[in-house]
Amino acid sequence: MKVSDLCKKDEFTCLNPEVGLDGEILNGYAGDLLSWVMANAKAGSAWVTIQTHVNIVAVATLLEMACIIIPEGAEIEESALERAILEDVPIIATKLNAYEVCRVLAKAGI
């Protein structure tokens, strides 16, 4: 499943569609403790996190994640969005909670 396919679903909105959305989502990861995520998340992950500050972009970039998904309508900080555009990391917002996001990903075969 490509990031663009996820963004086409009604429940999901890409907040920075100007970045490349052709990346393939290879797996999913949910977590908010950044060091824990650094230790365990894989490249190509769709990462679900309630953290909304600029450091999530650093983590996603270093681990070569496919995208970041911000659940439950949490508002991302402007500096994070700006960095995400610079670093070419898709940020996707949804009103679904983390569990529901993971269900959508699982249903799509991830």
Partner 1 sequence: MTYELKFDVERGDFETAGLASRKIKKTLQQLGINNKTIRQVSIAGYEGEMNLAIHSDGGYISLMVLDGELVLVIEDTGPGIPDIALAMQEGYSTAGDEVREMGFGAGMGLPNMRNNSDAFEINSEPGVGTRIEMHFNTKT
Q: Name the residues that contact partner 1, by CB under 8 A.
A: 32-36, 38-39, 43, 49, 51, 53-59, 61-63, 79, 87
Smallest gap from Cβ 59 to partner 1, in A, equals 7
Task: For residues 37 and 15, give the distance between their C-alpha atoms in angstroms, rounded to a whole number.
Answer: 22
Smallest gap from Cβ 79 to partner 1, in A, equals 6
Smallest gap from Cβ 55 to partner 1, in A, equals 6
Q: Which CB, 59 or 92, lies closer to partner 1?
A: 59
* Residue 82, phi then psi, degrees to nearest 5: -60, -45
Smallest gap from Cβ 47 to partner 1, in A, equals 12
* Tokens coding 67: 């995208």
Q: Which CB, 1 or 54, lies closer to partner 1?
A: 54
Please, are residues 73 and 47 in contact by the beta-carbon 8 Å criterion?
no
Please, are residues 63 and 43 in contact by the beta-carbon 8 Å criterion?
yes
SS (H, E, C) 12-27: EEECCCCCCCCCECCE
Q: Which CB, 28 or 104, lies closer to partner 1?
A: 28
